Structure 1
Amino acid sequence: MLDEKHDAPRDLIQAISDKNIYSWGRIGDHKVVLTSLPAGVYGTVSAAVTAQQLLSTFPQIRVGLLVGIGAAIPSASGSLDIRLGDVVVSQPDGQSGGVVQYDLEKVEDGGRFTRKGTLNMPPEALLKALSRLQAHHESNPSRIVEFTEGMLERNPFMAQSKPGRPSYQYQGAEYDRLFEATYTHPSRSDSCTNCEWEKEVTRAKRETTEPAIFYGTIASGNLLVRDVATREAIAQIAGDNCICIEMEAAGLMNNFPCLVIRGICDYADSHKNDRWQRYAAATAAAYAKEFLEIVPAAHLSNTPTALSVLSKTIGSIANDVRSVQKDVKSIFSFEKDKSRRELYN
């Protein structure tokens, strides 16, 4: 999706602690650096470590885009018609900053789960650009199809399907099947070829294969969700506006100012497979490209660096630790004096 690919800067000195591997280039008016999580390693901690290592080498980076795949949370009523290949973007809704960590909660009386703590929202410069792009899409189509088709023209190999490696092309509506919540996928089948058609949720045929874009809350945690009951429990924790589940964003939001963009590759149920992952990654990347092209470079120049945000977070944590230490010392001193009084009385 890069407009230009760049070589590594000649004067680059990568921090000893930084194990990331980078690519460089330009999108619109912005110079960008790209990295990814280690192969086969997922979760919020891995994402946080990757971001912190990046900042140790690039301290002037101001914002980030977390781009990849996620699972949709279909609404039981069918009011949210989300399909595989669609794009979900994190957006604050007043109750959350756009991302909710679902595995950080407390259990109250009656076994009811409630969220504990909140995560930061994206920086103002990104939210203003998000509003601008949404307004633009009210009267103009998204450029996702344009960018994905251009990508495949420049890289024909990505359009080819190989055994065990689906292509980056749209996979076909016949392979986008949403099943009833109570219907479990046969345990010994890798695909849904033998799944019962009568158990499939009937949905209206879309007039176009162009991906739809949804804005709302993204639930993030360390579980690989392949179960409808778990999916619905997470949705209840995250709130009514939650439309996507993923595994990295919660590790970044408080330490790395970013916007989360996810292409939908499954429905977080037992029918989950890898067929749509590459296409979903492509649609998310295409949206990220379109988004960056409308972000004014001048707006980002006035945004604090990500490292300064991280430093403030660390400073706040340090203050909290010192406060706790002070309270503990006070309690210890009180108990010690109490014991002395009891001894001499």
Structure 2
Amino acid sequence: MAEPTKPVDRHAFQIAIICALEKESKTADAFLEEHFDSADYGKEEGDRNIYTLGRIASYNVVLVHLPGPGKTVAATAATSLGFSFRNIKLALVVGVCGGVPKIHEGKAIVLGDIIISTGLVQYDMGRQYPTKRIKIDDIGRDLPRPTTEILAFLAKLKSDRDELKTETAAHLDALLQEKSFEGSQFPGAHQDKLFQPTYHHKHHQMEVCNAMYVKCGPYSTCDDSRKMTCGELCCAEENLVAWRPPGAATETETPNIHFGRIASGDLVMKSGEHRDEIAIQEQIIAFETEGAGVWEKFNCVVIKGVGHYADSHKNKVWQPYARATAVACTKACLKLWVGSDPEAGRRNERGGQYFYMTGEHNLAAQLGRGAFNNQQHDGAFYQGAGARYNKSA
């Protein structure tokens, strides 16, 4: 097999990896097998994105560094990406998400697992009550159905799931052996804590809440408590759900890979009650904040590691490991992607026919696909301590 050659120009880049946070980009950068000088390729005038260019396997990859999280930021960056790199065939939105603790396709979704999108639904389109909770009946705009090419790619990933899991584990192990990623090790099963959805993260001893205005009470939470740990707030462990399966208790665990619908929006989900209501209503298995901004502009797949359970007890203990699992899986997925010949686009352009789609043209094309057909998942939600499962309708 011939050695990969340095790409001639920007048209030779077909894969984009989009990360919202600096630490996510750093992890993705570590998986690039070769780096190219961005100055040699430039970008279109007006493109304010920052790129890292490199290679993974036989693919030339554009790593897009977003200035922050959110679907609006992602959408703006994706549009600029489409102008500068007009031959992008696959955009992968990679990072950390909030997982829905449910039984999905026979396996529990736990911290450190990987979620791969089969569809997206926007969940922040509705109104909010004064308590900052989402009005459920205002949510749920499905984004366009994935293209035939993406559906075929997802089918291939599912059919080769065992290989995908093995490759992911190998890439993850290699990364975690690097000194700069010592802090991304598996935190341990004892750190995987799921509280009952109605048990909120706040001062549970009301007399120690020193908030000046809104204090912690039966129906309120002070701002200070949101910045404190469960230990500092004395969150009682008798309210934990026995969720993580016994077989997932080893320190060398291989993360499971789950395929399903993801809720995407600018609002970070930190409510166990609303998480479960939306998950049941929309048949989703995770929450994230960038995918909706990219989905309608490119062939897109969201690949994210579960770093928290999208409840008020959300913390950063699992984020380094979740970042690592997501990026390791991304590299494994690329092995199963079959790209087209980048030279074909240049030949068509020189022949007077321009077949590259900019972000705006691509957006218009995708908006005509029609609504995404709801997919049913065999979701079983926990019900209180002891994880008594009940099949959802």
Preserved contact between residue 62 and residue 300 of structure 1 (Cα < 8 Å): no
Match in the other structure for 1:19: 48
Structure 1 position 181 matched with structure 2 position 197: yes
Structure 1 position 307 matched with structure 2 position 357: yes
Query: Which of the residues 154, 172, 178 maps onto 1:130?
Result: 154
- In structure 2, do the counterparts of structure 1 residues 8 and 77 end up closer, same or farther at CA, with 3 Å as the change threshold? closer
Cα distance in 2 for residues equivalent to 1:305 and 1:246: 32
Query: Which of the residues 117, 126, 138 maps onto 1:90?
Result: 117
Match in the other structure for 2:235: 195
Match in the other structure for 1:259: 301
Structure 1 position 4 matched with structure 2 position 46: no
What residue ranges of structure 1 are gaps of 5+ in the alignment? Answer: 92-97, 160-166, 318-345
Cα deviation, 1:128-177, whole Å, max 9, x if unaligned, reads 23222322234774322211121132x31211xxxxxxx21111111110
- In structure 2, do the counterparts of structure 1 residues 267 and 23 end up closer, same or farther at CA, with 3 Å as the change threshold? same
Cα distance in 2 for residues equivalent to 1:139 and 1:152: 20
Structure 1 position 205 matched with structure 2 position 255: no
Q: CA deviation at 1:312?
A: 5.0
Paired residues for 1:74-153 under 5 Å: 74-75=101-102, 81-91=108-118, 98-104=119-125, 113=137, 117-138=141-162, 141-153=165-177
Structure 1 position 63 matched with structure 2 position 90: yes
Query: Which of the residues 164, 183, 186 maps onto 1:170?
Result: 186
Larger CA deviation: 168-177 vs 55-64: 55-64
Query: Which of the residues 173, 181, 189 maps onto 1:158?
Result: 181
Preserved contact between residue 59 and residue 305 of structure 1 (Cα < 8 Å): no
Cα deviation, 1:283-322, whole Å, max 9, x if unaligned, reads 11111100001112348999997735631534898xxxxx
Q: CA deviation at 1:276?
A: 1.1
Q: CA deviation at 1:20?
A: 1.5
Q: CA deviation at 1:190?
A: 3.1
TM-score by length of 2: 0.67
Match in the other structure for 2:100: 73
Cα distance in 2 for residues equivalent to 1:54 and 1:297: 18
Q: CA deviation at 1:8?
A: 2.1
Secondary structure at 2:142's aligned position in 1? coil
Aligned residues: 297
Q: Which has the larger radius of gyration?
A: 1
Secondary structure at 1:113's aligned position in 2? helix
Secondary structure at 1:206's aligned position in 2? helix
- In structure 2, do the counterparts of structure 1 residues 116 and 126 end up closer, same or farther at CA, with 3 Å as the change threshold? closer
Query: Which of the residues 250, 270, 291 maps onto 2:312?
Result: 270
Structure 1 position 225 matched with structure 2 position 269: yes
Cα distance in 2 for residues equivalent to 1:255 and 1:64: 9
Cα deviation, 1:191-210, whole Å, max 9, x if unaligned, reads 33343221110133224521
TM-align CA RMSD: 3.2
Preserved contact between residue 105 and residue 114 of structure 1 (Cα < 8 Å): yes
Larger CA deviation: 251-260 vs 63-72: 251-260
Cα distance in 2 for residues equivalent to 1:123 and 1:302: 21
Secondary structure at 1:178's aligned position in 2? coil
TM-score by length of 1: 0.76
Preserved contact between residue 164 and residue 329 of structure 2 (Cα < 8 Å): no
Cα deviation, 1:46-68, whole Å, max 9, x if unaligned, reads 01011111122111222211111
Preserved contact between residue 197 and residue 271 of structure 2 (Cα < 8 Å): no
Cα deviation, 1:83-130, whole Å, max 9, x if unaligned, reads 111000111xxxxxx1011123699xxx87165653123333333232
